[in-house]
Amino acid sequence: MAGPLSGIIRYRTLSKWVEGSAVIKRAGHVPNIRRFAYRHPPGRLPGFLAVRAILLGAGGGMGMSSQPAPFSKPSSRLLTLWDVVAMLLVIGALVLLAQGSRGLMQPLPKPGFGAIGLDPSALPGYALHTSLRMLAAMALSLLFTFTYATWAAKSRRAEQVLIPLLDILQSVPILGFISVTVVFFMSLAPGRMLGAELAAVFAIFTSQAWNMAFSFHQSLRTVPKELAEASRSFRLGSWMRFWKLEAPFAMPALVWNMMMSMSGGWFFVVASEAISVGDTTVALPGIGSYIALAIVERDLGAIFWAIATMLAVILVYDQLLFRPLVAWSDRFRFEQEAVAAPPRSWVLTALRRSRLVSLALTPLGKAWRWTYRPPPASAKSRPVAHRKIQSRQAAWLDRLWYGAIIAVCLAALWRIIAFVLEGVAPTEAGTAFLLGLATMARVFALITLASIVWVPIGVWLGLRPRAARIAQPIAQFMAAFPANLLFPLAVSAIVALRLDPDFWLSPLMILGTQWYILFNVIAGASTIPGELRDIGANLRVRGWLWWRRIALPAVFPFYMTGAITASGGSWNASIVAEIASWGDTTLEAHGLGAYIAVAAKAGDFHRVVLGIAMMSAFVVVINRVFWRPLYALAERKFRLG
């Protein structure tokens, strides 16, 4: 690290200051650390030990909760029950990965659904292929989140470009990505399954990554100031500060958004696996293609089997992936008091108590800790004249940066207009604008309704870990439920009752995106410090006063992340919800989503680009004018700490 502390006086002062900020572990580390400090002469207390005790805690990370150590003491026996369980889990995962990745270099099947059958016995294999695609997309989404969101949070100039770009990417429908990128991915492996698999993984990635990036960016921007000041006082390098402070602080909310992103991938699984551009349809083996074929053939039995398989896969995900992540991330909660019933996971317990896993991870842990090298000594303060020169240089750099952004935007706008006008009359833009207004009205109405319903429920679940553990797989399944599976009910009811599709197809838009609000509110409510709840109880703050002074301010930053992603996701979902098909019957609502879906099906790329550009413009303007000011208010006024 950066060397020893200057003395016990400085250490005791900093320790007392940090303790008041709820940084010390709540299990009683402060007295132990102070006793250790008194036993060592001034200047002998290593800075690394102080950082670990105060910022990191006994188990690594921020040390914000009293969870058990990552791995318990190895047993004297050569092989324990937990070793057997861990070996079965690891070997089973490797076998499934090998089985699912076979055939990547095989030739592509013929266009259409010829390679897909509706036999229920084929569903386990289809479920394996779909699950591996989603896990691959989730890994790419995590890599994107840790790089893109961190860059946006750390650099003011980058944030001015990356966050609006993220708004645009979130609003681009999945059909838009497929239409533009499918040819590129197919060209990477011509005539092989690998190209189509890459296109499907990228399409699923576009339904997962944006939500996670928004959540991580919001968490990095709301790290409590006293924690950041403590890390600077201990001279933590940027790499160590990221992995020991910022990433752990963001982890609880990120885990909940990973659940939502995985469910979002299920919501668009039909469009991802049954890729249709123009007259060509490539159906990859998976649950999405199975559902698409069942809808074409109007087979209700096959749809029932698909729903049952989805439920089984989501339960497996919950037990093997998300429940261990929730239990592990609970150790990073920002509070001093112990949780009444911390979440548990048998998978996490097996990995922690396995001697073999501990032995395998020890070299990796040592190599990872080696990267926490101390930063170079800071240079002496520069004279005032030099700082003024730097300030003037920064101002000129800002002007050049803004000029470059404007030039790139104008060039992109010119290219889009030129391409669209090659095949579309200028008056078509007015039609697309009016359709965008219709979709915007649906989005605002549905977001308002979803907020009224799910914010109270999310707060209630977030404050009750046991209830949240029960509701977690249920919410995942409901969020993963593709709108396509409701087409038989929706189309039959609208036709039989002669209802207006413009109104009654609208709820399908919020079917998958309302859960962004619920999951983020649950994450926010679960991070409310126990001492804050105790203060409210002691002062008898109840009813609307409790909601106004404690609950809503605490979850407001998380709600804003959920509302922004739900809004963008609703625009994206409009391509699925505004046009519904069941057999030979097709219902279409007036909206921008239906406009893009019809154009993509016909292979009319000029109208596809016009619709996507218009949708992106709507989302960017709404975010800049409405959502971003509220987001800045949440970041400024309601941050924790």
State residue 459's pLDDT score. 92
Q: Is 181 found in the same domain as 38? A: no
- Domain assignment present for 380: no
Structure tokens at 478: 């409901």
Q: Is 561 found in the same domain as 427? A: yes
Q: Is 517 found in the same domain as 433? A: yes
Long-range contacts at 7-10 (CB < 8 A, ≥ 24 apart): 7/42, 7/43, 8/37, 8/38, 8/40, 8/42, 8/45, 9/42
d(CA 441, CA 431): 16
Q: How big is the CA angle at 128 (ends 123 and 132), to the nearest 5 degrees?
A: 145
> What b/e sequence results for 268-283 when a residue is b if at least 16 CB atoms lie within 10 Å of its CB, and e otherwise?
bbbbbbbbbbeeeebb
- Write out pLDDT tens, residues 484-531: 677 677 777 887 788 888 888 888 887 777 888 988 898 888 878 877
What size, in residues, is the chain? 641
- Domain assignment present for 629: yes
- Domain assignment present for 273: yes
Please say whether the beta carbons of 356 and 86 come within 8 A.
yes
Q: Is 523 found in the same domain as 448? A: yes
- Domain assignment present for 194: yes
CA neighbor of 564 nearest in space, from 245, 214, 197: 214
d(CA 353, CA 361): 13
- Domain assignment present for 347: no
Q: Which residues contact 452 (CB under 8 A, 6 or more apart)?
A: none
- Domain assignment present for 368: no
Angle in degrees, 0-180, between the axes of helices 465-480 and 427-462, rounded to the nearest 10 = 150
d(CA 132, CA 228): 38
CA neighbor of 614 nearest in space, from 635, 593, 600, 589: 593
Please say whether the beta carbons of 618 and 436 come within 8 A.
yes
SS3 114: coil
CATH of the domain at 523: 1.10.3720.10
- Write out pLDDT tens, residues 127-138: 999 999 999 999
In the block, residue with structure tokens 């036999």: 119
- Which residues of the chain carry a pLDDT beneath 50? 1-60, 62-72, 74, 379-381
- Of the residues 72, 93, 122, which one is the last residue of a structural domain? 72
State residue 77's pLDDT score. 61
Q: Is 113 found in the same domain as 11? A: no
- Domain assignment present for 496: yes
Q: Is 531 found in the same domain as 628? A: yes
Q: Is 462 found in the same domain as 610? A: yes
Q: Is 110 found in the same domain as 68? A: no
Residue 331 burial by Cβ neighbours in a 10 Å radius (0-12, 13-18, 19+): buried
Question: CA quadruple 298, 299, 303, 304: dihedral positive or negative?
Answer: positive
What DSSP assignment string belongs to 282-334?
EE-SSHHHHHHHHHHTT-HHHHHHHHHHHHHHHHHHIIIIIHHHHHHHGGG-S
Q: Is 165 found in the same domain as 56? A: no
Number of domains present in the structure of the chain: 2
CA neighbor of 221 nearest in space, from 312, 152, 172: 152
State residue 501's pLDDT score. 84
- Domain assignment present for 95: no
Alpha-carbon Rg of the chain, whole angstroms?
Answer: 27
d(CA 608, CA 278): 11
SS3 113: coil
- Of the residues 55, 72, 89, which one is the last residue of a structural domain? 72
Q: Is 285 found in the same domain as 138? A: yes
Structural domain including 43 reads 1-72
Q: Is 274 found in the same domain as 417? A: yes
SS3 per residue for 187-226: HHCCCEHHHHHHHHHHHHHHCCHHHHHHHHHHHHHCCCHH
Q: Is 143 found in the same domain as 32? A: no
d(CA 388, CA 594): 55
